[in-house]
Structure formats: structure tokens, C-alpha cells
Structure 1
């Protein structure tokens, strides 16, 4: 990516002036500039609306130390990240400024991080994702992506604020869940609509007081940006109803946990390569190779998509968490679930669902990693193994070995080791970002070295 030029800065300032005037008419007084750190936590700095043009042109100062934050806000000192020196500039992406309807008076904008010289920050996940999307476009491909949002709703208790108090104990997927919290869900949907988010589905989920929301597919960068708006809208709407939203992988060790499933479809020349082909279940050759790349690199990708110690409390067999590196048609126990969609809409709807990822993941890093792996599969002409039509946990170890069904890493330590041993991922992420990811993951491993599963769940419950 090129340096920010004086002409580009002037263009951004003029455009931001127009956007600020429109936001002012909607009662907006400030804009929150957001970025997501290596641990998966959304951080922010805000500017009064009248300062948006200056922020667009010249950015807002922010230390690069955030790359080295752990989820408890302690700070590492790694090879490339950490320490008190240096500064970056947060530049809002003006195409993605949106009112945060659940928080009256506020708008939100994802920020790209640049050096003070106007160069892209090499550890910025959003700029990485933008670059990978552009590289796929150069190859003649585009990707449509969507994220499922699972969260658990707790009632607040001033006497015990950090404990989990289910807002409803109605049955899994029960209509009673919707009835008991219908006003909350209605206001949430209203706020998402007013923030420009297209919601395709919302429903009660399996776990106690758990819900799920699905958004419309879009290009990966827009999808990651939307993920931040959706999560903060859920958080704000919950607070307005005296509730608290938990996005952590595990609210408690005896629960099922929250997933952060990602859906991907690869397109070329306006056609979905996941449908209409002669491969298994209608996959075309490019779609087949793209999926094979993701499956091959999934062990290392777990350090990105399951980045917390709490993530590995969720990854249990026969819990629809996709702990085996296999794929299958509508198989919710496979790490890659292939979805054709209903007959008649498959050319649009066919996609891959990555089941093992969770909400602790930085969405920019997660999507970038998946696209890197898929692109590597295209380049290497990889092939998928035979699809799996059963719960792999129900097969004995000898059968799984014979069919090439390997378990994904069961600990964060093993996932980091797989990430560091994967040259495709480390090369594409770049030395600085790859080293920072590993350092932060190892920092969390050290942080919880002596913690019980119950302590890990409690410490991470409200962090994401």
C-alpha cells in the first residue's frame, strides 16, 4: 500500500466534512475510531464530530503498544511490539462510518493504522485483510463472507457484577426465550437496522440464555467491520435493558460456549465456485482447491480463530465445535461444514462454514488467515480428502487414522506451534505480525499457567 499523499489527505478532509454534516443532522456528536488488538479486544479512541475532517486527513495518535496487549490489559515486550516509545496515526475509513444507533449521539468508524510518515503499519490486521482481498482480486477471484454471532445474556447484579446470571432459563431454541426477552431483541434489531446492518436471522440458541444472529454476506473487509458494529450494538442494547452480553468462548466450564462461525464462498466472473461444478456436492475446481487450502492450514489457523486459553475449553467432541480437521456435507461436527443451500438457490447460497472459530478471534486476522490459506490451496492445486458423513468422535482412533481424520490442536500451545511451523501463514502475515501473534498467545499461556478451567472462564467472561 502506498504512502498517504498530501492530495489524499485533502481528499479525505473534504469528504469527512460532508459526512460530518450528514451525521450532525442525525444528532451525532462524536465518532468512535476502532481497531482490534492481537488478543481480539476492540479498542477505541473518539473524536468530537467537528474534528472528524482533521482525523481523516492526519489521523489520531495511538501507541503501537496495543499490539502487545494481553486480554487482561497487561503488556508484553516482544521483538517487535511493546514498550513506551513510538506512535501511530488512526485514520478512519470514511466509507464505513456508521451511526451507532444503540448509543445515541455516537457514530463508529473502523480505523487503519499508519506511521507518522504516512506508511501502513506492518502489524495492522485491517490493512493486511485489505491487501489479501486485493491480491485475490488480481487473481480473478472475490470472496463473500459472513459471521455468525453467538452471545449469552446475563442479568446484572451489583452485589456480584462479574458472575453469570442467566437472563432466561427457557429451553434450548425455545420460543419462551424469545417471549421472555422479546423487547430486548426487538430493540436490538431496530438499532442494527438504523446502523445499516442487514440481519438475515436471529434466534434462541442451545446454551442457557444464548442467542444467535446472522448477517448478510459481503466482501471480507466489510464483514469484519460489520462484526465490530454488531458486537458493540449488542453490548449497548443489552446495557439499555439492564443486561450484559457475553461473547467469550465459554461463559462457564459446564456450558456449551459461544461460536464465531465464519461462512465463505469464492466467486469468479460473477459465479459462485462452490456450486454448479462436477466435484463433490457441486464444487467447481477452484472452489475445491480453495476449501482444501483452508483445511490443510487449519491447525495453524487455530492460533488465529481460537486465540484464547478459553477457546480450548469450548473445543470438545460432540459439541458441534468442529474439533476434527475434516469436512462434510452439512456435518456440524466437521471443522469445515459444506453447505449447498436449498435446491433452487445453490448458485448463490453454497458456502463453507468454519465451525471451530470463536468470538475471541480478531475478525480481520481470522478472515485474512482463511483467505491466505484458501489462496494457497488455489496456487498449490490442493485436493480435499473424502468427505466425512458422521461424527468423527464416534469413530475409533484406528478408523480415524486410516481415513486421515486428525484432531485439531487441543491446546493454545499446540495451536501456536502449528502456526509457527506453517510457512504459508508466517510469510503472508509478515515477520512482525506473525511474531507478535505468537508472542501474545504465549503471553496468555503464561498468564493462565496455574489457572483452573473455572478460573480461565471467569477471567475471560467479559473481556470480549
Structure 2
């Protein structure tokens, strides 16, 4: 159970009238039920505090049920009281995340697994992180950059301004967009989420909010709350916020870069592969790079994601490589000379990906590299020339021999064939995830570019 009845009491929540019990499905849609606080307290007083949800919820795309899912059966959704956050964007509301659990214990499994649901995104991430901590003494911090575009009109698409990267003209005091942005920051502060920066990004109406690093599960919970804050406050101000990976064909796309740092118990020697990495960090990085072609199906999950990832546009490029402060590499080493703040920026991630699954895959792949002491063979591409601008000989000298999948179909095939990903996430999960992923892509597959764009904006 993830509920401690002593932790939550109606008298300790002055002004809270409603609880939003919230989850994120396999398409990265944020879902919730609104429960009056008086009834929520009754739920907590029940023998098994939870709400019932149809098992089809994780396979439902709009009103289409993906292959392998059934309308029969229910899960229990068990609230995790440690995730309680005030909704700074909605006075009188608080949110809770939770875990999907089976109603009845599964047979022939260890007792600790008898209620676990192998499709629950939070359960998967928590399992991978806990296994790394218990078996290897590894812990992680994760911070996110949330890029989004503010529109004053969706049809036709019209941005709130045309200001480019870093320009003060995109942050004018009293402008409709800055009033909304300022309220977003205030709301996040009220919710207990530390914001490190807000700035104007490169595309029309595009902004970025940077939130502080936390442990992986808490970091993703905070990311979901950040996104809901952005969506709701934009709506309150008559604006529309979107995480769609590419809104304009001739300008920057939007990402959701994750900064991941690896922390081992005790001292880890400096790696022979790079003076800026420990052996643990080098093995972690090596394994993430090895499995990057499969991870892309989790971190760039829809065909439109591949319209953002390209060479020469600072989106991370299309070669399997890494580099110190190299924004044309899918993995950038940031703060390289500072052991306390050094981290890997995973750049091949956008706002259409379920972040619980994405971070679970990335960390899981890296942990197996540490477990197996995988050697880092790809060298630091920190020079002036991105991998895409090198010839084969130059790339070969750095150990850069593979490209990322250049299409959605190729990424899906890579995930299906990657044995480690199947072991980490579970074979049943990979199959069901790919089925849902296919159904989602089909929902966007319409002849009209205008209609396809409209559907994408409506969903993300």
C-alpha cells in the first residue's frame, strides 16, 4: 500500500475542496478524476484506499481500444500521499499521483509483486530506480527543461509574438503572454516546485521553463505538474499552450530535455575513456548510447517527433554520439568539470513521450552498463565539427559508427528487437506499448496537413 492514513487529514488542508487523482497513460495523456475532499477522506478510511479504473484505460486512444486490451476488468488506482501538491493554478484543488494495482493478487509470483501492474508507468520507473539503489548503490537526479509554444489562435495558428531566442521583446511587462508566464512561475512556487529559469526560446511564441533536479520519480511527477500548470494558466489567459514537437516548418521545434546525473556510493575512479567522467558515469553513458536506437521509440514516440530531430538545427542530430557541451549530439555532457553538478543532457526527448517510461528506459539501460562495466568506446565529440559534418573517416576516429533511426517505423523495430529493453520494461509492456503507439499514430494519420497539425495541437 502507498497510503498512510496518518499523513493526510482534512484539517491539515485548509481551503482544499477537491483532490485531482491523476495518472499519465501510454500516449502521454494526463488524466484525472476530481474527488471532493470529504469523500476522499472516506476513501482513505476504507480497508484498501483506492479508486477503481477500467483496465482498458491504458490501451484507450481517444475512443479506440488498442490491440491486446479488453473492456473487461478493473484496476485499483492507489494514491501515493507523498505526491500531494497544491494546484497553484486552481485554488481549492490539490493533486495526487498513484500506482495501478491488481484488485486480486496474482498467482505464482513473489509476494512483493502479487498486486503490481506491469503496464503502470510509475511502477516501472520506481522498480528500475530502486533496483539500481539496492543492487549497485546508484542514485540519480533528474531535471527537465520544458519547452512549449504559446498561441493566441489555433486555427489559424498564430503565436503570441515573433520574438526569437533570448529576446526581451518576448517578455514585455504587461503583455498577455508575460502575465500568463509570471502566473505560471508563481503557481509552481506555490506547488513547491523550484523553477531555476524562464526564458524565450527560438520559435515564435516559444518559451522554456527549467525546473530543479530531483530523484527520478519525484522529478517526473513535478514535470507532469509543471505541464498541467502551463496548460491551465495559458487557458485562463485566453491562450493555448502546446508541447507539440514541431508547430512551424521553418522554425525551432519543442523538446523536453532531461538532465540526468549518476551518483555512486563511495569513490569511483576517473575513467580512462574521458578525464571528465568516472568509471561509473562512463559505463552508464556507454550503455545508453548502445541502446539509443531502441530508446528513441520511447523518447520520440510519434512520426511527428522525427520532424524535430534533424542535423544542423541544434536538436541533437541523428548520429549515436556524445559530446561536452555539444548541442548537435543526442547526449550532451553538461558542467563537465564539476563533479557535483555534472550531468548528461538527453536531448532526443520531446513532450509527446510518457516521461515515466522514457526516464525508466534511459536509466535502466545505463544501469545495466554499470552492472556489466561496459567500456565507453565512443569518444567525446567536443570539437568544432558536429558528427553530421564529418566524413566517415573523421566519425570513425571518434568511434561514431551508427545513426539514430530516421523514421518512426525503424525506431519501433529497434525497440521490438532490443532484448535488454524487453527485460527491463517487460516483454508484455513492450508489446502493449507498441500497440498503443501504433493506434495513436493512426489517429494523426490524415491526408490534410492542416487537420494533422490541428489534431497534434489538440492532443499535446
- Please say whether Structure 1 and Structure 2 have the same fold, judged by a TM-score greater than 0.5: yes
Residue 224 of structure 1 and its aligned partner are, at CA, apart by 0.7
Alignment RMSD? 2.1
TM superposition score normalised by structure 1: 0.89
Shift of 1:277: 5.7
> Residue in 2 aligned with 1:188?
184
Tell me: CA distance 1:122–1:199, structure 2 relative to 1, closer, same or farther (3 Å). Answer: same
Please tell me whether residue 266 in structure 1 is matched to residue 262 in structure 2: yes
Please say if residues 162 and 203 of structure 2, whose CA atoms lie closer than 8 Å, have aligned partners that are also in contact: no
Matched, 1:306 2:300: yes
Greater CA drift, 43-52 or 180-189: 180-189
Q: Does 1:167 align with 2:147?
A: no
**Structure 2 unpaired stretches of 5+:** 106-114
Distance 2:64 2:117 in 1: 19
Q: Tell me how far apart the structure 1 counterparts of residues 37 and 77 of structure 2 sit (CA, whole Å).
A: 15
Distance 1:427 1:148, change over 3 A: same
CA-CA distance at 1:31 after TM superposition:
0.9
1:66 aligns with 2:57: yes
CA contact (8 A) 2:289 2:320 kept: yes
Residue 388 of structure 2: aligned partner? 393
What is the match of residue 237 of structure 1? 233
> Cα–Cα, structure 1 residues 459 and 200, in superposed 2: closer, same or farther, change >3 Å?
same
Q: In the aligned structure 2, how far is the partner of 1:177 from the partner of 1:77?
A: 42
Distance 1:167 1:86 in 2: 45
C-alpha separation in 2, matches of 1:330 and 1:452: 39
Kept in 2, the 8 Å contact 1:325–1:407? The answer is yes
**CA deviation after TM superposition for structure 1 residue 280, in Å:** 1.3
Matched with 2:221 is 225
Contact 2:284–2:369 (CA<8 Å) still a contact in 1? yes
Cα distance in 1 for partners of 2:250, 2:12 equals 48
Deviates more, 1:450-459 or 1:60-69: 450-459
CA drift of 1:367 comes to 0.8
Aligned to 1:102: 89
- Cα contact 1:310–1:456 (8 A) shared by 2: no
What's the counterpart of residue 444 of structure 1? Answer: 440
- Asked if the contact 2:66–2:436 (Cα under 8 Å) also holds between the matched residues in 1, the reply is no
Q: Which residue of 2 aligns with 1:85?
A: 72
Query: Structure 2 CA distance, aligned partners of 1:435 and 1:142?
Result: 29
Identify the residue that residue 109 of structure 2 maps to in structure 1: none
SS of the residue corresponding to residue 349 of structure 1 reads coil
Cα deviation, 1:215-274, whole Å, max 9, x if unaligned, reads 111100000100111000111111222111111112233332111111111102277x6x
**1:330·1:337 contact (CA, 8 Å) conserved in 2?**
yes
Post-superposition shift, 1:162? 4.4
Aligned residues: 439
1:44-70 per-position Cα deviation (integer Å, ceiling 9, x unaligned): 112111122344442111112122133
Which of 329, 332, 342 is matched with 2:327 structurally? 332
1:313 offset after TM fit, Å? 1.2
Are 1:151 and 1:212, in contact at CA under 8 Å, matched by a contact in 2?
yes
Q: Any conservation in 2 of the 1:249–1:257 contact (CA below 8 Å)?
A: yes
d(CA) in 2 for partners of 1:122, 1:165: 42
Q: In the alignment, what sits opposite 2:4? A: 12
Q: Is the 8 A contact 1:152 1:209 kept in 2?
A: yes
Q: Structure 1: which 5+ runs fail to align?
A: none
| Residue 397 (structure 1) shift | 5.1
2:66·2:439 contact (CA, 8 Å) conserved in 1? Answer: no
Counterparts of 2:451 and 2:369 in 1: how far apart (Å)?
A: 39
Q: Which residue of 2 aligns with 1:47?
A: 35
Q: Describe the superposition over 1:146-166 as per-residue Cα deviations: whole angstroms up to 9, x where unpaired.
A: 11100000114xxxx544211
**CA distance in structure 2 between the partners assigned to 1:74 and 1:317 by the alignment:** 37
| Distance in 2 of aligned mates of 1:453 and 1:332 | 30
